A and B are shown apart, each in its own frame.
Chain A
């Protein structure tokens, strides 16, 4: 088997959904997005190998300079809740220290969760990195040189 080397370790985030309850560990990634006004904001996204495309909550349309969330390319995506219409755009993100221009989809039916504003998905973004996923140690390993 080949050996793989990684330069970064991203620790999962721990929270307790109920006091004194069991811990929940989430593989969250801080992604920087440049707003239409030129300022930079950080968005926590859930690392998701099951997401074909990086996906944000529909409310982020204004950051992309759009008048509404549903004016982009209409795409149908398969989810656990059935086939849904989402809208696709191209934007620039900073992920794991790299600046990447990639497709993103706006989805008005993402679950409302305070710890992530969307999903870090595969299209273009994953091409730039290699990943190792260690559930037991709650760590995501990242290399910029896959």
Chain B
């Protein structure tokens, strides 16, 4: 396994412990330990390990097959982040993209178009972007589901 750890601050003993953890512990146990200390681990489709707060990555953390199993059990924070980002920035986004379809990826609007097929054609290289339509008209936040 290859791993790398970068930090914007001295993490001292914690870093040493993480290195030992990545090379010796069972991957699932490692994830549980990282959860316990609040580092929000995330396993990529390729089997890499990402950890929030610090930039920590471990290539070949688990085989791809095992990564697929782990990913079904664990939340993938980057997906929910896009919706969270959208909800927190909705006022600004409505000003900029009213009446348009937008694609959100990793906390940014990566493209927009007046029609959905046009947008999808342009963003096919992104994996799981969040797609939504920004209405131009006022939004009613209490709803029954038909007009």
Contacts and interface: CB of A to CB of B under 8 A. Distances in A.
Interface of A: 7-8, 13-15, 17, 19, 24, 26, 28, 30, 32, 35, 37, 39-44, 48, 51, 55, 57, 59-60, 62-63, 79-82, 84, 97-98, 107, 109-115, 117, 119
Interface of B: 71-73, 75, 79-80, 82-84, 86-88, 90-91, 93-94, 103, 116-117, 120, 123-124, 126-135, 137, 139-141, 143-147
A80 B146 CA distance: 6
Contacts, number: 113
Nearest to B124: A39
Contacts of A113: 135, 139, 143
B134 A97 contact: no
A19 B90 CA distance: 11
A42 B73 contact: no
Contact of A62 (B72, B116, B137): B116
A111 B133 contact: no
Contact of A112 (B90, B117, B135, B146): B135
Contacts of A42: 79, 82, 128-131
Contact of B143 (A13, A30, A111): A111
A60 B84 CA distance: 23
Contact of A41 (B75, B86, B129, B134): B129
B120 A81 contact: no
A60 to B, nearest CB: 7
A32 B128 CA distance: 7
Given A37-B124, A57-B133, A117-B132, A80 B86 contact: no
B75 A112 contact: no
Given A15-B88, A24-B141, 5 more contacts: A62-B120, A80-B145, A80-B146, A114-B94, A119-B145
A115 B85 CA distance: 11
